[in-house]
Structure 1
């Protein structure tokens, strides 16, 4: 049991440590473009965000299964971005929703300017081609923060971000990102 707790804490720590690495010494995120002499990195993973509460995640998926999937998704997304033509810098979140039965979908949320639709489609296709991890009792939602081509403005709206079209699935007075919401976003 201690091993599982340590593994979940490690996954959460990965997100925190990667997020801290993206901060400048003043404590804020540096939005300055890379120097003209240094080429912008095509893809830089920043953090991993668990969109559901920790007890729900622990009940639905083993970290020993989720962690390699998240790493593989980041690698697949990086490959798709590196294969695309260089574009203006973008920062955002690669969202991964996994449902029982080996089903997974991906979404890309960025600030403006966004990568080309072709690049976003290539990232989604590359990530969705991966075998989905086994989950039980309901869906999970994980995000991988990233900077592409040196990064850019963060996505507008919620933090952590969700796709703009998802806002229409909330009730007028708000709502929760729960199983019912995820079923509206991605119906069976």
Structure 2
């Protein structure tokens, strides 16, 4: 999880629905890896944000550049999974994944390029929910 437990408890009214969503995302990611045709062995993160109103977004942060087909398949299939209900703000989490027998990423947390590129005011650190809200493209 990329947010404190207190934030998740406030924003996720049904933890079982969230768990079901995570399982569905994992299945969609597996299907994407197989259907992409790219047999690239790489580890990294699938970062997911779910907003109130049933909207989700995804960012990929892998340890090596992903094959374009694999990247497109992963993003589109994960976005296609119907998200769980959230209230009072976004819920952001990441799955540490690997493809074709690669080892999982040893990094502690993801840092997608889109997140790094976001202009900041000085050294101000953003809460991850606020960060994804600034980056969100509908």
Residues 141 and 89 (structure 1), Cα distance of their counterparts in 2 relative to 1, 3 Å cut = same
Whether the aligned pair in 1 keeps the contact of 2:97 and 2:104 (CA below 8 Å) is: no
Partner residue of 2:24 out of 72, 75, 99: 72
- 2:129 maps to 1:179: yes
Task: Please give the alpha-carbon distance, in whole angstroms, between the structure 2 residues aligned to 1:95 and 1:79.
Answer: 17
Summarize the alignment of residues 145-164 of structure 1 with structure 2, pairs less than 5 Å apart: 145-151=96-102, 154=105, 159-164=108-113
What is the match of residue 87 of structure 1? 39
- Structure 2 unaligned segments of length 5 or more: list them: none
Runs of 4+ aligned residues of structure 1 deviating over 4 Å after TM superposition are: none
> Which residue of 125, 139, 148 maps to 2:90?
139
TM-score (norm 2): 0.88
Deviation track 1:37-95 (CA, whole Å, cap 9, x = no partner) reads xxxxxxxxxxxxx1100010011012111100011001001001011224331000111
Pick aligned residue for 1:115 from 66, 89, 103: 66
Q: Which has the larger radius of gyration?
A: 1
Residue 167 (structure 1) aligned with residue 119 (structure 2): no
Where does the alignment leave 5 or more consecutive residues of structure 1 unmatched? Answer: 1-49
> For 1:125, which of 76, 81, 88 is the aligned residue?
76
Q: Displacement, 1:152?
A: 5.3
Distance 2:86 2:66 in 1: 31
Residue 168 of structure 1: how far off its partner (Å): 2.6
